[in-house]
Each structure stands twice: as C-alpha cells, then as structure tokens.
Amino acid sequence: MILAETIGIGDELLSGLTLNTNSVFIAQELEALGIVTRWQTIVGDDLDDIKDALERALSRADVVTLTGGLGPTHDDMTKKALCNYFQVDLKLYPEILEKIKRRFERRGYKLPKINRNQAEYPANAELLNNSAGSAQGMAFQVGEKVVYSMPGVPREMQAIMREEILPRLKDRTSTRMVRINLHTTGVPESRLYESIHSVFLDHPNLKVAYLPKHTGVTIRLSLVSEDVSTARSQLDLIISNVRQLLPEAVYGIDDDTLPKVVGDLLRELESRVATAESCTGGLIASMLTDVSGSSDYFEAGYVTYANRVKHAVLGVPLEVLETEGAVSEATVKAMLNGALKAAGAEYAVAVSGIAGPTGGTAEKPVGLVYIGAGRKNDLVVKRFQFGRDRILNKEMTAMAALNLLRIKLLADLKR
C-alpha cells in the first residue's frame, strides 16, 4: 500500500480563518488511485516548522504534498524551507520571469521587484506547469519517495494536481479505489448499523463509513481492487441487498438528492405535485424547484402559515382547526385535499408542526409535526417528533415529507 501525507502551510489555516479544503481534495484524488492518505498536517508560516513537517512526513509516507507558501511576500516560506531541507540554492528561470512580467504588463502594471522571486525555485526542483496561475508547482524525488509542492490557491492547486501530478502517480500502483455513497434518511445511524451490518460481513476488503447528519445518514462503501469493473459489480450487489432490507430509508447514491429522485419518479408517472406547507415556510417547494427541469412536474406551492389562510386558500374546515388544532392529522389531511383541488395536481404533500423553540404544550411539544402525502382518495398522514432546534426541525420535516412522497410514488409505480 502506498501511503501519503498532505501538509497545509499557512498561519490562516492554523487560526481557522481559512479552511484546509486543499487536503480534502488531494486525499480524495489520491485515494481514487489507491493511494491512502494516512496523515494530514497543518503548519504555520515558519521555516523550521515547515522543514520539520517535511522531515516527519518523509519518514513515514511515500507521497508527500505541500500546499501554500509560494507567494511573493515575506511570509511565504515554502521555497526557503525546501532549499534548506535539500541543501540547495534558488535558481532563477528567465523564461518564467518574462511570463510574469508580461502578465503584469497586460494589466497595465510594471513588474514589482518583489514578484521577481516567483521566478526562483530550488535548484533540484522539477517544475510543474500551473495553467491557472503564475506560481509553478514543484516535484522532488527522494529515493523511492516523491514530494510535490503546490500553491495554496485551490483552483491553482487543483489544476496542477489534475494536469501534472495525478498522471505521474497513476503508474505507481496497480490498484484503484472504487467508492459509492449510499444515501438514507429517516433512520438513525445505530438502527442502520443493526439492520444492514450483516450484509457487509461477507466482504472483508470492504470499508464502510457511516456519515450522519440531521437529515439522514450517508453510508460510504469503498473497495480497493485491481479490477475496477469487478469492484463496481460487487458494490452494486451490496447496495441491492441494502435496498431490500431498508427500502423506505435508501433513496439514492452518489450525486442523487432526494428532491431529484422525487422529481424523476413524478416524471416517470407523468404526474405533477403541489405542496401545502405551514411550519416549513415553503422549504419543500424550494427544495423541489432547486432541481433543473422541475417545471415538468411541480405545479404549485401554498404556504398557509395562519389558520385563516389554511381555511381560505386550502379549505381546511374551521371546526377541524378549532377542535383538532392546526398541528393535527385531520388538518394535514384537509391541507392535502385542498392543495390537490386548488392546483389540479395528481399528487400533494403537506406539513404542519411546531418548529419551536416556543409554542409547545404538554400535549403538543416542540418538534411535533404531521406530514402527509398522496393523491385523491389515497392519502397517508404520519406523526413525527423531532427536536427543539427550529432550523433543524424545518429541514428534517422537509426531508421526511419528500421521503414520504417518494415512498408513495414508488408504490404507485409498481402497481
């Protein structure tokens, strides 16, 4: 196994003022080649710290990447640290200096003296072209190991990785990482584990990671293999088995989003949907229409926050609102029927609840939500109990509503 370490350089990374997204990108790209990033290090703009980090990385990793510290100002220390480590001097590249000079002239500026050092690099460096900027990348061979240094600007780093570094690394390993993200909602992480863990036991080379959020859990499945097609077939079989165990929880893979999956089902059924929302304030309609092409199936959205609007727009009977309350199964069912009639859509989804953090009672606590979905004469309404955070409650309600609609659409599609 080839091991890698990423080193992010910059005081702004240590302070948290800038997120170290470069290491995330590099690790993902390397893993796709079967190269495992075992360590990620962040150091400030200090010559000795950079040198120490490089020494430590080369003592344990086969591939080392450095990002940041290649600018023209006094705090950019990476090239000095590399020269110190390799015991070499900086070398001036006149052709690079000329390119930098022309770039400033095109902008109407004279080349500042400080930018001259952007044409200077350690004498033993193999320069890597930067198609997105002026600071060149660098490659250093250290025995069987290799060090790559890149600018910290993400688009420049990504350009050098894709165009220069990844093609060089492809031949270092015959294995590839094949990964699929399986998306679920409505089932807690612990219950997911208990329900599907047995599926993974027959695959000792499979890596499984549970990535929970308040709106659902993504299950990341990874296989390292010399045969990509075989690995993909194996993962497809695993996913099929998981879907059979949890058909109401699993809604998609990789780039699938729940709104897109719902939209695809509506399109397949040649149907349109309307939304009737109270506590979510239009979030469900917004999520559905975030998908390009949603005009094919989204008919109308009604945000009926006040009781009088529920009655006036959706026809919710006043006696239902008075006796059962706005947050009730009866109200949501009436909202569904009202949305179906008003919009003329084949399907509707409706929600009413107490988002909080105020407004709850002993009988109807904060986080109580009723969610309904379906078509005329075929409606389902379910009760959910979420937490006390208003924003999280709205987001969880919207996801639960879309998933309830997805389940109903799937059932109708199989008829």
User: CATH number for the domain including 112?
Assistant: 3.40.980.10
Please say which residue of 151, 172, 193 terminates a domain. 172
The reported pLDDT for the residue numbered 107 is 84
Query: What mean pLDDT do residues 186-206 have?
Result: 94
The reported pLDDT for the residue numbered 25 is 97
- Do residues 300 and 383 both lie within one domain? yes
Query: What mean pLDDT do residues 278-288 have?
Result: 98
* pLDDT band at 131; cut points 50, 70, 90: very high
Taking alpha carbons only, the member of 178, 265, 253, 277 closest to residue 223 is 178
Say whether pLDDT at 74 is over 80: no
- Do residues 70 and 91 both lie within one domain? yes
Lowest mean pLDDT among 42-51, 110-119, 274-283, 321-330: 110-119
- Do residues 34 and 64 both lie within one domain? yes
User: CATH number for the domain including 225?
Assistant: 3.30.70.2860
Q: Residues 197-222: pLDDT tens digits?
A: 999 998 998 999 999 999 999 999 99
The reported pLDDT for the residue numbered 215 is 97
Say whether pLDDT at 92 is over 80: yes
Alpha-carbon distance of 380 to 405, in angstroms, equals 9
* pLDDT band at 71; cut points 50, 70, 90: confident
- Do residues 153 and 184 both lie within one domain? no
The reported pLDDT for the residue numbered 355 is 97
Q: Say how many domains are in the chain.
A: 3
**Spatial contact of 335 and 350, defined as CB atoms under 8 Å apart:** yes
- Do residues 77 and 137 both lie within one domain? yes
Query: What mean pLDDT do residues 88-101 have?
Result: 93
Please say which residue of 253, 285, 315 terminates a domain. 253
- Do residues 201 and 296 both lie within one domain? no
- Do residues 204 and 326 both lie within one domain? no
Q: Residues 318-349: pLDDT tens digits?
A: 999 999 999 999 999 999 999 999 999 999 99
* More confident site: 134 or 165: 165
Say whether pLDDT at 112 is over 90: no
The reported pLDDT for the residue numbered 155 is 97
- Do residues 188 and 262 both lie within one domain? no
Say whether pLDDT at 76 is over 90: no
- Do residues 168 and 180 both lie within one domain? no
Full residue range of the structural domain in which residue 141 is found? 3-172
Please say which residue of 221, 253, 285 terminates a domain. 253
- Do residues 115 and 14 both lie within one domain? yes
The reported pLDDT for the residue numbered 339 is 98
- Do residues 52 and 9 both lie within one domain? yes
- Do residues 237 and 264 both lie within one domain? no
The reported pLDDT for the residue numbered 97 is 92
Asked if the bond preceding 357 is cis, omega within 30° of 0, the reply is yes
The reported pLDDT for the residue numbered 113 is 82
The reported pLDDT for the residue numbered 308 is 97
The reported pLDDT for the residue numbered 100 is 86
Q: Residues 379-402: pLDDT tens digits?
A: 999 999 999 999 999 999 999 999
* pLDDT band at 415; cut points 50, 70, 90: confident
**Spatial contact of 298 and 285, defined as CB atoms under 8 Å apart:** yes
What's the chain's average pLDDT?
A: 95
The reported pLDDT for the residue numbered 398 is 98
The reported pLDDT for the residue numbered 30 is 95
Q: Residues 224-269: pLDDT tens digits?
A: 888 899 999 999 999 999 999 999 999 999 999 999 999 999 999 9
Query: What mean pLDDT do residues 76-98 have?
Result: 95
